[in-house]
Amino acid sequence: MMLILTVIAITTVSAYLLGQRIRRRPVAALSTALTGMFECVGACVLFLLANVAVGVSVVLAARSAGWTFASLYAVNDVTLVVLAVLQGLFFRFWWRSSGGASPGA
Amino acid sequence: MNILKWVGVTALSGFLISVTTPLWSYLARPLVVEPSLAHADAIVVLAAGIEPSGSLSSESLRRAVHGLQLFKRGFAPVILLSGPRGRSRAGRSEADARLDLALHWGVPADHIVVVSQGTTTWDETQAIASALSARRASTALLVTSSLHMKRARAVLERRGVTVLPAPSDDYLGVPRSPQQRFFLMLRVLEQGAAYLRYRAAGYI
């Protein structure tokens, strides 16, 4: 755990110094960036929950209709997480760029 | 209030707590059944998946080896190996692959029962209960993962089998690294949801 925290601390401080000294980014913008990061994570989590809910519904519907057998474990796939991240990032930036505020803001 | 922001804050906080503390080891306790090793009429090894190549999944292999060890220690005269064909494209079921393993371990063929039906715990235990009944076996040492044990035992006991739990792992004792804690969280959520679904459906 200490190794991971050390690695994260080194790269985070490096990126901060790079942004402040070389690219002249204002320190005050950090809180905006933090809020943006939380929004991105929130969007990704909501898409993940929606994907899991839809996946479970489809599997159960297919079973009850007798079309085919599909395991519910298929929904527990890391690919779903990665795609939910892409969905979350894409739609969060779209919502921001089109109206200035994300849903629920 | 920005919903996305607060969902993100909650999710990140939950993630950090989950990977840095033993939270999920405590939350998993209601799902875990303590081992109860004693002589039984049969050892039942539940399915856990087979690869498309026909190789046993790591979880399937872990369960099978644990069951074979119990057999070798004389806990039961018969070992029942379960497992459907699943994703295998090699033309053999998980139970067949486990049969090869058992024969390789020197288990006599007439002490092995193979069950290849059932793609869910509910269906699988039905086929197992029928096979046990045909051999007049009423007690079974049940081998499955520790987080799956409570649900599997309840279903098999409902079908008239007296179950002695013999979990093939110790999920709660394993997590030490953040990654292991994260995967424990996923397993607890998965098996917890499955247990609640079986309760809601009236299976247990």
**What mean pLDDT do residues A68-88 have?**
87
Segments making up each domain of chain A, as ranges: 2-97
DSSP structure class, residue B52: T
Q: Is the pLDDT of residue A63 over 90?
A: no
pLDDT, residue A78, reads: 86
pLDDT, residue A103, reads: 56
> What's the pTM value of the predicted model, to 2 decimals?
0.84
CA atoms of B200 and B204, how far apart (whole Å): 8
Interface of A with B (CB under 8 A): 1, 4, 35, 37-43, 45-46, 69, 71-73, 76, 92, 101-105
B164 CB-near residues (< 8 Å, 6+ apart): B36, B37, B38, B40, B139, B140, B141, B142
CA atoms of A44 and B10, how far apart (whole Å): 13
Q: Is the pLDDT of residue A5 over 80?
A: yes
Q: What is the pLDDT along chain B (204 residues), one digit of tens a residue?
A: 489 999 999 999 999 999 999 999 999 999 989 999 999 999 999 999 999 888 999 999 999 999 999 999 999 999 999 999 876 676 789 999 999 999 999 999 999 999 998 889 999 999 999 999 999 999 999 999 999 999 999 999 999 999 999 999 887 777 778 889 998 999 999 999 999 999 999 998
Interface predicted TM-score (ipTM): 0.78
A45/B186 touch (CB, cutoff 8 Å), yes or no: no
CA–CA distance from A103 to each of A80, A98, B102 (Å)?
23, 11, 58
pLDDT, residue A99, reads: 62
CA–CA distance from B88 to each of A84, B50, B65, B183 (Å)?
28, 6, 20, 25
Tell me which of A34, A35, A41, A77 to substitute to probe the interface with B (most B C-beta atoms closer than 10 Å): A41
pLDDT, residue A10, reads: 97
B9/A38 touch (CB, cutoff 8 Å), yes or no: yes
Query: Chain A contact for B12, CB < 8 A?
Result: yes
pLDDT, residue B138, reads: 96
What chain B holds in terms of domains, given with CATH numbers, is 33-170 (3.40.50.620)
Among the partner residues B20, B120, B190, nearest to A76 by beta-carbon distance: B190
pLDDT, residue B170, reads: 82
